[in-house]
Amino acid sequence: MKYLVVGWKVTHGLEPQYWLSNSAKSGGQSYDDLITVPAEAMGTHTVIIGQSGSGKSYFLGRLVEEILTNTKARCVILDPNSDFGKVHEIQEASFWTKGYNPVKRTGHLLTEKSRKEFEAKWADKQKKIYTASQYKLARETEQTPYIKLRFWWPSLSAELLSGEEPPAIRSQLHHCHAFVQAVGHLTLLKALVDGTELDPIEESEKLYKLWLEDSQAEKMYVSQDRFSEELGNFDIEKLSASTNSLDMDAFRMVESFGLHKYPEFGEFSAMYYVGQNLMLINSWMERAKTALQYVSEDVGRFYFGKASEYKTAGILSGRPELIPEKSDRLVVVDLPSLANRSLRNLAINAFLKNEWERSRAAWELALERREEEDRRIPTFVVMDEAHNFIPAQSMGEAEAALREQFRTIAAEGRKYGLYLILASQRPDKLDPMVTSEAENKALMKLDSNSILELTCKNLGMEDIQKRTLEKCLEFEKSRVLLAGRWSPEPRIMYCAARRTVEGGRNLRARYWAEP
């Protein structure tokens, strides 16, 4: 069985026992000096709680490194503080020569002998960092795996687009978005079948204006149906006669729309492929024809104005972005590179949706094969400051929709191999329906008895001895109490050092706190 090395055993005074020896050095320890967890014990949801400055992000970084270097699993990090913006960079060699400072009671305590030893395990892990930062994108090289962060407008959830509008307006916006989604799916298939590239927003707005003109003509008893005529250009049946086989990229692009039922797509011609889905295609056509009946002109103008605003910001793509391959072992979403909270919510929504649908598709395929042929790997969705995105009390429809995605993963993700690793300062600020599903728990420095009591209640830790739990009130940075599936007997440890460069940074008090 493989184990993840997460920390160091501590003395009663909460100091790392091995590092108190004058002869201690990185990589010189024995197995008995370490705190490890079985890799398979990570096959559940995990919650890490600790106040600001307790070392949560550091521990999170170590955990991700161990998962990637000691298992086949993937990690998708929704990064709210850019802590993983330099995860492709490894600390300098001198970092491995540092040890424990008994006066300051702290230190970066590594388990490998050298940088080279860790680099051999880390360098070949495929990493991608999705960002909207033009500065970072301009620096892209083979060593800096930055990719432009963009969304395909039709793939986004209507709840996240309608914001805090009144219910009647939200309903119309939902119908308008359903229309654009239908047209978007048709533009995508048209591009795949005959190579005609159409912008889904521009095409939808053009069709919408024709529908308005037809409606006005009808009021004047003038018969015209330019909307249906133009929509007829998406007649996929007519196009299918002259198509070639869909390639791998084309198939992967439409996986997220429920067309992943044919995993051996290489054996199917486009005509066969389209023929099997004509019912679905016709439903899109019908939806496009009917949805606009419930949309007023003012709401339609508002919707397309909002879409144009996002398009101008440069974050929309003409096609859906490819779902990251399973070979992309580490995917980081640079949330601070997006200008505001609504855009960050859209990014989280898009990536969660991709991972959910990818995992479901793999599960369905696995059920059709023998158990010994099941080679699926799990994906860990990692998020620090999780209370900002999965709050106990949501402030509006957009937040509620995002929270519902996390709830679904928490409740059903295990069977699909989709697990959450969440870190937060306060468990009472996190949605209890999500935290109740977490079997792995880690407590770091907590600043009061009241917070400790809330933590125990919300995470179901009342069965742990009070004396053990109260140690969290004495913790200094990097001390961690592990409990749950990954540690049936509660254990206190000193966090092993993170080897990759931490991207986030606080102000340097030694500089600013002087005249």
Does residue 335 share a domain with residue 194? no
For position 144, which CATH number holds? 3.40.50.300
Strands 74-79 and 379-383: parallel
Question: What pLDDT is attached to residue 234?
Answer: 73
Query: What phi and psi values does residue 72 have, to the nearest 5 degrees?
Result: -95, 0
pLDDT of 341 reads 87
**Contact at 8 Å (CB) between 413 and 420?**
yes
- Considering the domain architecture, whether residues 137 and 195 belong to the same structural domain is answered as no
What would you report as the CA-atom Rg of the chain, rounded to the nearest whole angstrom?
A: 26
Residues 180, 145 share a domain: no
Q: Which residues contact 466 (CB under 8 A, 6 or more apart)?
A: none
Instruction: Read off the tokens for 102.
Output: 């008994």
Q: Do residues 440 and 448 lie in contact, with contact meaning Cβ atoms separated by under 8 Å?
A: no
Q: Give residue 426's pLDDT.
A: 84
Same domain, 284 and 402: no
Close Cβ partners of 414 (under 8 Å, ≥ 6 residues apart): 43, 44, 45
What is the spatial distance between Cα 433 and Cα 407, in angstroms, rounded to a whole number?
Answer: 7
Residue where one domain finishes, among candidates 288, 312, 336 = 312
Least Cα distance to 386 among 401, 403, 400 occurs for 403
**Number of domains composing the chain:** 2
What's the one-letter identity of residue 410?
Answer: A
Residue 303 and residue 428 in one domain: no
The pLDDT score that the predictor gives to residue 235 is: 67
Q: How far apart are CA 38 and CA 148, in angstroms?
A: 36
Q: In terms of domains, do 99 and 169 share one?
A: no
**Is residue 90 located within the same domain as residue 174?**
no
- 465-494: b (≥16 Cβ within 10 Å) or e: eeeebebbeebbbbbbbbbbbbbeebbbbb
How far is it, in rounded angstroms, from Cα 89 to Cα 96? 15
Task: Provide the pLDDT for residue 159.
Answer: 79
Residue 489 shares a structural domain with residue 442: yes
How much is the pLDDT for 322? 55
Same domain membership, residue 165 and residue 142? no
Same domain, 132 and 179: no
Helix (H, G, I), strand (E, B) or coil at 128: strand
Tell me what pLDDT residue 315 has: 84
Instruction: Output the pLDDT for position 510.
Output: 73
Instruction: Say what the pLDDT of residue 59 is.
Output: 96
Burial class (CB in 10 A: 0-12, 13-18, 19+), 372: exposed
According to the model, what pLDDT value does residue 316 have?
85
Question: What is the distance of C-alpha 72 from the center of its chain?
Answer: 18
DSSP H helical ranges for 436-491? 449-459, 466-469
- Residue 248 is predicted with a pLDDT of 46
- As to burial, measured by CB atoms within 10 angstroms (0-12 exposed, 13-18 middle, 19+ buried), residue 184 is buried
In which order are the strands placed within the sheet that holds 74-79? 34-38, 3-9, 487-495, 479-484, 438-443, 45-49, 418-424, 379-383, 74-79, 330-334, 127-131, 146-148
Integer Cα distance of 373 and 302 in angstroms: 51
Instruction: Tell me the residue range of the domain where 263 lies.
Output: 153-312
Of the residues 312, 330, 348, the one at which a domain ends: 312
DSSP one-letter code for 18: G
Same domain assignment for residues 230 and 91: no
333, 258: one domain:
no
Q: DSSP code of 292? A: G
Res 289: pLDDT: 80
Q: Which residue among 259, 286, 312 closes a domain?
A: 312
Residues of the chain scoring pLDDT < 70: 140-142, 163-164, 192-194, 217-224, 235-282, 321-327, 505
